[in-house]
Structure 1
Amino acid sequence: MSQKLICNCNETMPLDSKALGLPIHTSLCRQEVGSFLKALDGDDAVLVACTQEGALFSELAEQSGKPLVAPLRFVNIREYAGWTQEAKQSGPKITALLALADMPQAEPVPVVSYESGGSLLIIGAAEQALPWADKLNTALDVSVLCAKAGDLPLSRTFPIYSGEVSKLEGFLGSFSVDWNLQNPIDPEMCTRCGACVEVCPEQAINASFQIDLDKCKSHRACVTACAGIGAIAFDRIDTKRSGEFDLILDLRSDPKMPMSQTPQGYFAPGPDPFGQALAANELLGMVGEFEKPKYFVYNEKICAHGRNGQVGCSACIDVCSTGAIRSIFKSGQGHVEVNPNLCMGCGACSTVCPSGAMRYNYPSVAHQGKEIKALATVFITETTKQNRTVAPTLLLHTLEAGAQLLDGLGRAAHIQSKQFEGLPSYVLPYGIEHIASTGMEFWLGALSYGFGEVVLLLSGEEDPAYRAALEIQVDVANTVLQAYGFTPRIQMACVSSSKDLSAVSVVMGQLRQRGPLPSLGAPASFGLSIQKRETLEVILEYLQKHAKTPLPDQGSALPKASPLGGLQMNSEACTLCMSCVGSCPEGALLDNPDEPKLSFIEKNCVQCGICVKTCPEEALSLLPRLVNVEQRKQRMVLNETQAFHCISCGKPMGTLKMVNLMLSKLSTHGAFSGSALDRLKMCGDCRVVDMVKKEL
């Protein structure tokens, strides 16, 4: 536990010392700062309920010279609770936020390292790129690739290339650039002596030291003048050039990185001078060694990407906005590979992964589950003390952008209470690294812990693919809830930017006017597992236990993108070849070594569709649905038939249907007549014996 320092910010918040069980300060960051310094002398960690003055308190702690028991921690109760229209009813929320801030921090995760020596390639028109090269060359190792010709400096202070970029990939400290030289003059070799300019009769060469091919009449006097240098060649065959760089400044209006969220070390401000200045300033600080968290954990064993040469699920590849994930097939078995240096930590890959093979780890779902469980438990306990039990709303938001939006809303609601709605007293904000990093198992888990609903606050900076993925997840989650008789409890609140206070104010006003929704049932005691499918199963058991209406015997239909569901079998078309069994990455399809029988366990199916693509008879199709928990766990028979027995020894050697189909197709072939056709009805051993007897 920690020492908690609470301040009512010059009496602008109606905090109840008795209800909170803590002394209330009025000016902790000013006249009462001694109370903070005294707390540093204690044996407990210090938690300050103020984020605005976090920098001041941190500086004071550093100046005190006293070793801290633990790093200072801060929590925002002002904008989230004290500066709202329902500030007087926000005591339970404040207690819950304090409890959340006091919880143990997540275990550290592995880090990904970058190393930048400061080699910078500036790409763009010469008239823009060269001035920036002059400015940055004293601090960085600059090279310039002129995408459009312009006057070149006579001094060779830094390398200057020309051409069109054909490939640009990599990340901070490891960029690879390929380009094609398109002009007869190679600026790498050109000494800018001017001999070619003097001899050109058409004046097709100027201070850019590039030939204007529209003016050139192919006299080749320039080639003769440059013979000692060799920079000019009209018949050059090898025009490909390449280079390795630590940093990229792309000034073109159409940047060539193929992903929507570009990697660290790549700056593309385009032709905007202000944007270029900001990028240049950042570049100066990107020399040295850097670290970032490794956001994900990948378990290849349960990945449903591909089997037997067939691609099943590619959800993570499709949603990744950084191009960090690629498909790998080896010996017919497919998996994905993630470049941790390109990964920016959105977590969308783990959200859309149906099997849980891709798992978000910053922090883990298990850690987040403990936090939201504590948040709900404390809030409900506090409202119960007030003789009212209220199910809170969980407001999920991206840490940086969402916090900026909610902070701004709180200040606006305090100063302009008639124009802006602050957070209702039952809405509990919970910041996560990125809004795309949680999916339906997390949201439904929150409802199981006692939350009445979950609201996803999208602050406008998200990639369109993330928003689309979240919309699909919300649709599936709400359909699951409706199958059990509940109203939809997951919603998305989308605003245009982290400064769009009016839009989020409207959402909060609607929530306050409507009031809290009731919980689904008694809060669950289970914890969220790091294994997605395990978490989903225990949540489905909870929902089934508290369902308002039972599921129909045939189950309830789910959207096409659902990771839950079964299979439809066309038993007339199926030959029980068992190709589907070998292709299933999750063990949902099973054969029987003793008899021709195909079984299925719905709980294991992730609806990847590899079995559907593998089936040579096209006898299988996916069936997105929700059936009761008991039925999901049962081993059910999809198809079975009589076995065909060897006509010689009587040993089973396939299905009657499959052998008859084979015989009907081959019986008209000349090579399979008479005894040869009979051998097809024998097992392998008897076939060899029969052939030997006939030869003797």
Structure 2
Amino acid sequence: MAEIVALDKARLLLCDCRGSMAPDAAAIARGTGLACSRLHAELCRAEAGVVAEALSRPGPVLVACEQEAARFAEIAEDAAAMERLGWVDIRDRAGWAGPGEAVGPKMAALVADARLPAPDLPLFDVESAGLCLVYGAEAVALPAAARLAEVLTVTVMLTDRPEIAAPPAGADVVTGRIRNLAGSLGRFELTVDAFAELAPAGRGARAFGKPADGARSACDIVVDLSGGTPLVPAPEKRDGYLRADPCDPLAVERVLFEAAQLTGTFEKPLHIRLTESLCAHSRAEQTGCTRCLDVCPTGAISPAGEHVTIDTGVCAGCGACSAVCPSGAAATEEPPVAHLFRRMRAMAEAFRAAGGEGPRLLVHEGHGAEMIRLGARHGRGLPGAVVPMEIAALASFGHAEMLAALALGFSAVDILAAPMTERAVIGGQIALAEAILAAAPQGAGRLRLIDEADPDALMEILHGPAPAPHGCEPILAVGGRRETVRLAARALAGGVPEAPVPLPAGAPYGAVLVDTDACTLCLSCAGLCPTGALSDNPDRPELSFREEACIQCGLCEGLCPETAIRLVPQLELSDAAFAPRVLKEEEPFACIECGALFGVKSTIERITEKLSSHAMFRNSDNARLIQMCDDCRVRAQYHGDSAPFRFGERPKVRTTEDYLKERDGEG
């Protein structure tokens, strides 16, 4: 979907593409409230003046054609009205469907989606000075380096150690084996073993010097022609790392062409925004949540003390971390989840307002958009009830978005995998959503990952049997993912289930169970709980738990010195999840000196009993110290006979009057 103008009073220009489809103006108007133009036949060519005339008047203009967007942009530029022009594809995505299928409601949904203003995506600059490393064997790497040396500053690192008769002009030649490569375009860092430089002098062929391990260097671009294991994880997603099979000349030519273009300043999106204060990765050197670390395909996420850090240069924006993050610390910016909820709501509402029933959401990336176009032009096209929605990263569409889509009015959600889709992440999110839907009477079988690369086969799948509408009253998706999950689950279940919904291990919702016999109320769990789900009472020994805030990070379970805590993954949909409940409470102990309440009575008594037979505490005032509050214990130790700084009782202050009385014998 192209970036388009999105204002409430836009005018929609309709075109039937030379009679090849039939836009349903009435349904679009009912679903969106837009005033549609008369039906045109060729807005991109013969009737292009209609677009120019519409742009000459005030207000935004929306053209129902995306194929000829470049042509419409030219018209808008000539009219100095580019900021008022937008377009939306209703032909390939809705114009060609099965015989007799109503496509008007879907057209209305697509137009409603196009009218929403897309939030600005944060960008940052990446600078490359063109310092390039070519890595591989002599036969391929030297000719490649000679080519690139014309436009880049090149160092070629050979994986073999031949004698060099004629080094390539303008390129340095070394030999070595890359042990580790980190970073991305403009800031690669590498560690090299068996590193040696080409000897600068000598007669005949030139040889390399003595090899050394652990050499370190940096560069902007890496061209890997070694043919071995990739030097970085998910190499196809690493900016500046170009890899080709050295036995494939076309592939080598392709990466050399790409490398030659990587000089200058580039803008890269800030895909993920990290709020460190919300991260539950670690506390007190105890590891808790590692969900984002486990799923990041590029290795862009790494521990950084009590939280994680994201290397924005390495991050490829797959969105998997935001889908699995239980606290919202990692949040996708492409787009923000709130905008995604608005899109789905707008499409579902427009579909219903246009007279449609049982819409099905098809979530896809750019690869899926091309499959939809091919399936429409050369096959059956999408069914009339299937509403496609393109997003930047499929893995960011997690269980919260799936449940929200169903609760907003879609009867089913299909996710169309692309070649580089993180299938395991999406599969795990579907499994979690299905577990939550187990409480819904008709919840099963409404979520699906479609892994199909053939457009015709995709159309056959989508034209197959589909779930019936579930009849759920649409929700108003507000707040973050966790709030929306709870709201959607209750709506889809038709109320509040009698018992919590059991969830698979690793789910980000659940309860904490405490073995009250083992718990000593040390409260280390409450002090380090990152979300405040566990809390203490400053007035008495008490441990409370609020289930709605628990993200099942496992810190409390790992930190408990008595191993008295156990996590139970579940989703409590009743209001009881929001109210703190006491897990354990005891009577405080009264100080034997001042009567102040402190500590836990059972613990003080147990310690006193256990130490009663110890030599240091038998027939000693030391036993009394255990039963004193902090202030009384300090005073007792200061005035005790064994205190190292004891100086006896403080002398009485003598005044002038006391002196005079003593002198006159009146004292």
**TM-score exceeds 0.5:** yes
Q: What residue in structure 1 maps to residue 358 of structure 2?
A: 391
Q: What residue in structure 2 maps to residue 343 of structure 1?
A: 315
Task: Write the letter of the residue equivalent to 2:150.
Answer: T
Q: SS in structure 2 opposite 1:429?
A: strand
Whole-Å separation in 2 of the counterparts to 1:658 and 1:520: 56
Q: Please, which of 501, 505, 514 is the counterpart of residue 459 of structure 2?
A: 505
Whole-Å separation in 1 of the counterparts to 2:320 and 2:202: 52
Q: What residue in structure 2 maps to residue 679 of structure 1?
A: 625
Please list, as runs of the form range in 1=range in 2, the aligned pairs for 1:37-116 lying within 5 A after superposition. 37-62=52-77, 65-70=78-83, 72-86=85-99, 88-106=101-119, 108-116=120-128
Q: CA deviation at 1:494?
A: 2.8
Q: What residue in structure 2 maps to residue 191 of structure 1?
A: 201
* Residues 1:14 and 2:26 aligned together: no
Kept after mapping to 1: 8 A contact 2:73/2:82: no
Q: Please, which of 225, 234, 247 is the counterpart of residue 251 of structure 1?
A: 225
Q: Quickly say closer, same or farther: Cα 1:75–1:193, change in 2 above 3 A.
A: farther
Q: Quickly say closer, same or farther: Cα 1:171–1:551, change in 2 above 3 A.
A: same
Q: What residue in structure 2 maps to residue 305 of structure 1?
A: 281
Q: CA deviation at 1:289?
A: 0.7
Kept after mapping to 2: 8 A contact 1:47/1:73: yes
Q: Quickly say closer, same or farther: Cα 1:338–1:154, change in 2 above 3 A.
A: same
Q: SS in structure 2 opposite 1:355?
A: coil
Q: SS in structure 1 opposite 2:197?
A: coil
Kept after mapping to 2: 8 A contact 1:299/1:357: yes
Q: Please, which of 478, 482, 502 is the counterpart of residue 528 of structure 1?
A: 478
Please list, as runs of the form range in 1=range in 2, the aligned pairs for 1:148-297 lying within 5 A after superposition. 148-150=160-162, 152-155=164-167, 157=169, 158-181=171-194, 186-191=196-201, 193-194=203-204, 207=205, 209=207, 232-233=209-210, 238-261=212-235, 262-271=237-246, 272-297=248-273
Q: What residue in structure 2 maps to residue 450 of structure 1?
A: 409
Whole-Å separation in 1 of the counterparts to 2:524 and 2:111: 56
Q: Please, which of 126, 146, 150 is the counterpart of residue 138 of structure 1?
A: 150
Kept after mapping to 2: 8 A contact 1:5/1:49: yes
Q: CA deviation at 1:665?
A: 4.6
Q: What residue in structure 2 maps to residue 221 of structure 1?
A: none
* Residues 1:485 and 2:441 aligned together: yes
| CA deviation string 1:510-539 (max 9, x = no partner) | 2xx33x532442222x3433x333333443
Kept after mapping to 2: 8 A contact 1:474/1:490: no
Please list, as runs of the form range in 1=range in 2, the aligned pairs for 1:532-543 lying within 5 A after superposition. 532-540=481-489, 542-543=491-492
Q: What residue in structure 1 maps to residue 400 of structure 2?
A: 441
| CA deviation string 1:104-148 (max 9, x = no partner) | 232x13212111111111000011001111112111111100012
Q: Quickly say closer, same or farther: Cα 1:633–1:76, change in 2 above 3 A.
A: same
Q: CA deviation at 1:284?
A: 1.8
Kept after mapping to 2: 8 A contact 1:120/1:141: yes
Q: SS in structure 2 opposite 1:396?
A: strand
Q: CA deviation at 1:451?
A: 1.5
Q: Quickly say closer, same or farther: Cα 1:401–1:681, change in 2 above 3 A.
A: same
Whole-Å separation in 1 of the counterparts to 2:602 and 2:549: 28
* Residues 1:410 and 2:373 aligned together: no
Kept after mapping to 2: 8 A contact 1:255/1:268: no
- Of residues 373-382 and 253-262 in structure 1, the stretch that sits farther from structure 2 once superposed is 253-262
Kept after mapping to 1: 8 A contact 2:24/2:103: no
- Of residues 604-613 and 437-446 in structure 1, the stretch that sits farther from structure 2 once superposed is 437-446
Q: CA deviation at 1:88?
A: 4.3
Gap runs ≥5 in structure 1:
195-206, 211-231, 384-388
Whole-Å separation in 1 of the counterparts to 2:295 and 2:609: 47
Q: What residue in structure 2 maps to residue 26 of structure 1?
A: 41
Q: CA deviation at 1:40?
A: 3.3
| CA deviation string 1:412-443 (max 9, x = no partner) | 31xxx4xxxx3111111111111011222222
| CA deviation string 1:137-172 (max 9, x = no partner) | 111111100012345342562100101112211111
Whole-Å separation in 1 of the counterparts to 2:319 and 2:392: 9
Q: Quickly say closer, same or farther: Cα 1:663–1:269, change in 2 above 3 A.
A: farther
- Give me the CA root mean square deviation: 2.3
* Residues 1:320 and 2:320 aligned together: no
Q: CA deviation at 1:257?
A: 2.8
Q: What residue in structure 2 maps to residue 517 of structure 1?
A: 468
Percent of aligned pairs with the same amino acid: 34
Task: Write the letter of the residue equivalent to 1:686.
Answer: C
Q: CA deviation at 1:69?
A: 4.8
Task: Write the letter of the residue equivalent to 1:367.
Answer: H
Q: CA deviation at 1:666?
A: 3.8
Q: What residue in structure 2 maps to residue 369 of structure 1?
A: 341
* Residues 1:427 and 2:412 aligned together: no
Q: Quickly say closer, same or farther: Cα 1:616–1:190, change in 2 above 3 A.
A: same
Q: CA deviation at 1:610?
A: 0.5
TM-score w.r.t. the length of structure 1 is 0.85
* Residues 1:357 and 2:329 aligned together: yes
Q: CA deviation at 1:507?
A: 2.0
Whole-Å separation in 1 of the counterparts to 2:13 and 2:614: 90
* Residues 1:460 and 2:419 aligned together: yes
Q: SS in structure 2 opposite 1:159?
A: strand
Whole-Å separation in 2 of the counterparts to 1:668 and 1:109: 70
Whole-Å separation in 1 of the counterparts to 2:144 and 2:605: 77
Task: Write the letter of the residue equivalent to 1:289.
Answer: T
Q: Quickly say closer, same or farther: Cα 1:412–1:69, change in 2 above 3 A.
A: closer
Whole-Å separation in 1 of the counterparts to 2:452 and 2:149: 39
Q: Quickly say closer, same or farther: Cα 1:598–1:520, change in 2 above 3 A.
A: farther
Kept after mapping to 2: 8 A contact 1:600/1:637: yes
Q: CA deviation at 1:32?
A: 2.4
| CA deviation string 1:431-470 (max 9, x = no partner) | 11110112222222222221222221112321xxx32222
Kept after mapping to 1: 8 A contact 2:416/2:452: no
- Of residues 109-118 and 72-81 in structure 1, the stretch that sits farther from structure 2 once superposed is 72-81
Q: Quickly say closer, same or farther: Cα 1:15–1:273, change in 2 above 3 A.
A: same
Kept after mapping to 1: 8 A contact 2:271/2:332: yes
Kept after mapping to 2: 8 A contact 1:443/1:454: yes
Q: CA deviation at 1:490?
A: 4.4
- Of residues 48-57 and 286-295 in structure 1, the stretch that sits farther from structure 2 once superposed is 48-57
Q: Quickly say closer, same or farther: Cα 1:69–1:58, change in 2 above 3 A.
A: closer
Please list, as runs of the form range in 1=range in 2, the aligned pairs for 1:559-578 lying within 5 A after superposition. 559-578=504-523
Q: CA deviation at 1:552?
A: 2.4
Kept after mapping to 1: 8 A contact 2:27/2:108: no
* Residues 1:473 and 2:429 aligned together: yes
Q: What residue in structure 2 maps to residue 590 of structure 1?
A: 535
Q: SS in structure 1 opposite 2:37?
A: coil
Kept after mapping to 2: 8 A contact 1:443/1:490: no
Q: CA deviation at 1:26?
A: 2.0
Q: What residue in structure 1 maps to residue 590 of structure 2?
A: 645
Whole-Å separation in 1 of the counterparts to 2:167 and 2:43: 61
Whole-Å separation in 2 of the counterparts to 1:381 and 1:178: 61
Q: Quickly say closer, same or farther: Cα 1:141–1:645, change in 2 above 3 A.
A: same
Whole-Å separation in 1 of the counterparts to 2:313 and 2:143: 31
TM-score w.r.t. the length of structure 2 is 0.88
Q: CA deviation at 1:256?
A: 4.3
Kept after mapping to 1: 8 A contact 2:402/2:447: no
| CA deviation string 1:534-587 (max 9, x = no partner) | 33344355446x33xx4224x221111221111111111111110110110001
Whole-Å separation in 1 of the counterparts to 2:371 and 2:608: 71
Whole-Å separation in 2 of the counterparts to 1:100 and 1:433: 15
